[in-house]
Chain A
Amino acid sequence: MALPIMAVLVFFLVLPIVMIVTVSFWQATEFSIIPAFDLENYEFLFGSNVTYRVFFNTFKYAFITWVFTLGIGFTVAYFLAFHIRSLTWQIVLFLLCTIPFWTSNIIRMISWIPFLGRNGIANSTLISWGVIDEPLDWLLFSDFAVILAFVHLYTLFMVVPIFNTMMRIDKSLIEAARDAGASGAQILWNVIIPLTKPGIMIGTIFVVTLVMGDFITVRFMSGSQSANVGRLISNDIALLAYPSASATAVVLLLTVLIVIGIMLRFVDIRKEL
């Protein structure tokens, strides 16, 4: 029964990875790529300062996005799970939070233009309030815009697993804590947060991997002024430098897998579904 899935994953996941690893040792001329066993691509990659800067940037995006998505996602899930009392409303509001996930990311990025542009809503509002005299230039096409878009796109990935775990918390535990004299903050810190950890971990895995593997959000929202590893790869691809793109891809994949490996130590995904 599992054979078809196995076949799809072998052909479109395992083989591509094998291919990328292989090609990462090949040589490239301007027009073609030549089979070889050559460490040149890796030497160039690790010998260049750009690589370290770009990897640092990638981690920076991942970390800042993680902080914001976790803060917002946890608050929203907490509100839905513990403050909304009827199941119907919980489902309705939860669906409202998830619907954007099923629409196009690219259009959701484009839709920030009228907000953040030089003559956009944010600037004209701030000017009319007298907060600033001149339009801010750093709203669109900047790191700020990149992070904003990431938070906008990926907060759902925090809300869903955290909400899912919270809904399974036995309400009598919270009553017991209250009977024992715990304040609201103590219940949150000592009961709810520890019990929500698996959901937080799953959300974290989603957000971190999506941000680390992204290239299109960074390219679009930074106006090509910032770079992360994904963009490094896509730039190489655009130059048809497949071996060098592959070497970067291998390093990126290893980085992501190590990060995930560390996180999976804290959570058993199959038990949490």
Chain B
Amino acid sequence: MEPRPRSFYVLSAFFALFLLFLYGPTITIAILSFQGPGGGLTFPMRGTSLHWFRDLFEQQAVGDIWGSFRRSFALGLMVMVTTVILSVMGGLAFRKRFKGSSILFYLIITSLVIPSILISLGVGLIFSQSGLNVHWSTSGFGSQLTWTLPFGLLIMFAVFNRFDKSYEEAARDLGATSWQTLRHVVLPIIGPSLIGVALFGFTLSYDEFARTLLTSGSYNTLPLEIFGMTTNVTTPVLYALGTLTTVFSLLMIGLFLCLALWSTRRKARAGSDAGKGMV
């Protein structure tokens, strides 16, 4: 191997600083959430304790965060499942040109670039003017889909751009029906990418703020609840909550990444028996 140029070390330092910039603040509030009972929002630490985490479990101290967590979790799962199914269907459809395909493509781009508050405002207005009640599981759910679907679909475009169609042709030649081809050939091949789509679906929904602001009704989701706290809570309990939900997000990300790794390995193992047959 040729020796590393000097620029490598400069860029490595830059990259390390970038990671520090990305993660430093989050790590800081994680440390500060263990403040002693008399501690404030900044250093120095006045002792260490679990005081602020305990506060989270007392209803009157912080409002309904556990209810909002349950809602965000349920909503995240709903959005995740819907995003995966609709993205796969959309990705399959987009492999051929169909009537309205370019309109739909521009709609997807619009959905991606439209300021979130417009979705919030528009959906809120539609529901209020037609006398419906906004609720996180109806209007909130739909509004979040406008954010997760474009990501899901763009991933599916990328996947199908690299998809080798001869597998499907082989299956068809062997007499598989179109459902069998999809179930036994296409889905196993694109499986690992679907985990990626699911990750986007869940986490983008779980953290979404602007699109749920006017569409979730009287029951807040977790990000709305946290934002509400920023205006009236001035103790490290805010950091404790932030740390807990970040840890939860990281666990979910880890879970999805492990699943992706596992299914890629499985695919590699079960994928091809070329050269193993009778000679």
Interface residues of chain A, those whose CB is within 8 Å of chain B, are 1-2, 4-6, 8-9, 11-17, 19-20, 23, 72, 75-76, 78-80, 83, 85, 93, 95-97, 99-100, 102-108, 110-115, 117, 119-121, 124, 152, 155, 184, 205, 209, 212-216, 220, 230, 233-234, 237, 242, 245-246, 249, 252-253, 256-257, 260, 264, 269-270, 273
Contact = CB atoms under 8 A, between A and B. Distances in A.
Contacts, number: 239
A115 B214 contact: no
B242 A1 contact: no
Interface string B87-122: 101101110001011001101111111111111011
B62 interface: no
Contact of B129 (A19, A76, A93, A114): A19
A15 B1 CA distance: 59
B56 to A, nearest CB: 14
A6 B118 contact: no
Given A1-B90, A5-B104, A233-B121, A13 B110 contact: yes
B270 interface: no
A13 to B, nearest CB: 5
> Is chain A's binding surface mostly helix, strand, loop or mixed?
helix
B102 to A, nearest CB: 10
Given A99-B253, A102-B249, A249-B117, A15 B89 contact: no
Contact of B199 (A102, A209, A273): A102
Interface string B227-239: 1001000000011
B142 A11 contact: yes
A18 to B, nearest CB: 8
Nearest to B122: A16
Nearest to B229: A110
A19 B121 CA distance: 9
Contacts of B145: 8, 12
A17 B145 CA distance: 16
Interface of B: 1, 4-5, 7-8, 11-12, 14-15, 18-19, 21-26, 28-29, 32, 41-43, 85-87, 89-90, 92-94, 98, 100-101, 104-105, 107-119, 121-123, 125-126, 129, 142-143, 145-146, 149, 153-154, 157-158, 161, 199-200, 203-204, 206-207, 209-210, 214, 223, 226-227, 230, 238-239, 242, 245-246, 249-250, 252-253, 257
Given A1-B89, A15-B122, A20-B122, A9 B113 contact: no
Nearest to B88: A1
Given A79-B15, A107-B246, A184-B7, A152 B25 contact: yes
A16 B121 contact: yes
A242 B125 contact: yes
Contacts of A152: 21-22, 25
Given A4-B89, A104-B223, A110 B113 contact: no
B146 A273 contact: no
Given A5-B149, A102-B252, A249-B117, 16 more contacts: A1-B92, A5-B86, A6-B104, A9-B111, A9-B149, A12-B142, A16-B118, A16-B121, A78-B11, A99-B250, A104-B242, A106-B230, A111-B25, A117-B42, A212-B115, A273-B154
Contacts of A99: 250, 253
Max chain A C-beta neighbours (<10 A), residue from B19, B101, B116, B122: B122
Contact of B25 (A75, A108, A155): A108
A256 B115 contact: yes
A230 B149 CA distance: 23
B78 to A, nearest CB: 13
Contacts of A104: 206-207, 223, 226, 242, 245-246, 249
Contacts of A220: 230
Contact of B125 (A19, A78, A79): A19
Contacts of A114: 25, 28-29, 32, 41-43
Contact of A12 (B18, B86, B112, B119): B119
19 contacts: A2-B101, A6-B107, A9-B108, A13-B111, A13-B119, A76-B14, A100-B22, A104-B206, A104-B223, A104-B242, A112-B25, A120-B43, A121-B43, A152-B25, A212-B115, A213-B116, A249-B117, A253-B115, A273-B154
Given A2-B90, A19-B122, A106-B223, A75 B11 contact: yes
Given A20-B121, A230-B115, A8 B149 contact: yes
Contacts of A8: 86, 142, 145-146, 149
A110 B242 CA distance: 8
A96 B230 CA distance: 28
Contacts of A245: 121
Given A12-B145, A19-B126, A76 B15 contact: yes
A203 B138 CA distance: 32
Given A20-B125, A97-B22, A6 B100 contact: yes
